[in-house]
Amino acid sequence: MGFLDKILGKKEALIQSNADFWNWFLKNEKDFFKIVKDRQNIHQDFFEKLAPKLDEIHSGIYFLTGMLDDNTVELILTPDGAIRNIYAIEELVNAAPKIEGWKITALKPASEIQDIGIDYEGFQFNKDNLRFYPNVHEGYPDEIDLTVIYDEFVEEKRQVIANGVYIFLDNYLGELHSVTLIDNMKIEGSNAISEELIPIEKLRDYLIWREKEFVEKYEGTRHNTENDSYANFEGKKQDGSIVLALINTTLIQWDKKASHPWIFIVTIPFDDCDNSGLPDEKTYKLLDSIEEEIIQILPDSDGYLNIGRETADNKREIFFACKDFRKPTKVADDLIKEYNGVFEISYEIYKDKYWQTFRHFEPR
């Protein structure tokens, strides 16, 4: 075997933990430092080696690098806007040892606005050609809904311009605030705008004020589901398949929904049992045990409210409203690994302060 290793090259062990990753990085960091500083073969000798190792830790971790000063390389790990990957990056960076000559950063940090000039697909984005105004919704007072005005807006290039604006905001606000503080945003041109426009450099202060106001309003708000009422819903689709749902009707009518703004939906598909889209008895019990496992890990006392579940079309969806997004995404990733080969579990997490996702379960 040693002879074959010499000929074929010894295969590196898979990275299975944050400690494994940093041990691997420490063995290579001096070479990586020189590559970044000299700007020689950086893609081949650094990026192409780092990317697969990060992928072994958690898919969806991207990175930026450059010289912070003459003696320090900064490595920024970023989820590129994907909320579900933030916790993995923060845990990885928190586990990093102190490495002389390196600054390891979780998520793109905020920058001074005068230092930001984004050139993207032929469009420039800076403090002089971006403004904004808030959209106020009487029925949704806690919603942060913004319209950003870009002076060089072209309808045919809407998606390109939107991407450029998002990159600008990532750099200006910092990635965490950019992806978590704004509930809805659209980008438009300045033509026919009657609203009073606010300079984009005021956006950070506006968002901090709104977040402070929100936290103060809902600080300490919790809900104990022990004595809540539940209702069963049953329906039939046009194709004859059955829809079954069990919903916490007390929560659905709660007036403090915005205190738990993160909607977390776990989806568990199962094999077609020739049972109108519903599981057989064995599968049903297994689905119930997984649901109970999630509820135990995410209790209401910690800010995770189980709204209920829906079973139809050979899948079960389990619904939560949460105070934060980090623990649910970690729990979901652990479940995917635990039941790999049994179910192809997937999940969504997104902000919906007024639980409009569940509007169809509200009494009419």
* Residues 293-318: tens digit of each pLDDT: 999 999 999 999 999 999 999 999 99
* CA–CA distance, 22 with 37 (Å, rounded to integer): 20
pTM: 0.92
Q: Are 95 and 74 in contact (CB under 8 A)?
A: no
* Residues 132-180: tens digit of each pLDDT: 999 999 889 999 999 999 999 999 999 999 999 999 999 999 999 999 9
* CA–CA distance, 185 with 120 (Å, rounded to integer): 19
Tell me the three-class secondary structure of the chain, residue by residue.
CHHHHHHHCCCCCCCCCHHHHHHHHHHHHHHHHHHHHHCCCHHHHHHHHHHHHHHHHCCCCEEEEEEEECCEEEEEEECCCCHHHHHHHHHHHHCCCCCCCEEEEECCCCCCHHHCCEEECCEEECCCCEEEEEECCCCCCCCCEEEEEECCCCHHHHHHHHHHHHHHHHHHHCHHHHHHCCCEEEEECCCCCCCCCEEHHHHHHHHHHHHHHHHHHHCCCCCCCCCCCEEEEEEECCCCCEEEEEEEHHHHCCCCHHHCCEEEEEEEECCCCCCCCCCCHHHHHHHHHHHHHHHHHCCHHHCEEEEEEEEECCEEEEEEEECCCHHHHHHHHHHHHHCCCCCCCEEEEEECCCCHHHHHHCCC
Assess whether pLDDT exceeds 70 at residue 339.
yes
Assess whether pLDDT exceeds 80 at residue 288.
yes
* Residues 19-40: tens digit of each pLDDT: 999 999 999 999 999 999 999 8
* CA–CA distance, 263 with 357 (Å, rounded to integer): 8
Specify the pLDDT at position 8. Answer: 47
Assess whether pLDDT exceeds 80 at residue 7.
no
Both tokens assigned to 341: 């080969």
Torsion of CA 290, 294, 296, 297, to 10 degrees: 140
* CA–CA distance, 289 with 216 (Å, rounded to integer): 37
Angle at 289 between CA 287 and CA 290, to 5 degrees: 65
Q: In this structure, which amino acid lies at residue 181?
A: L
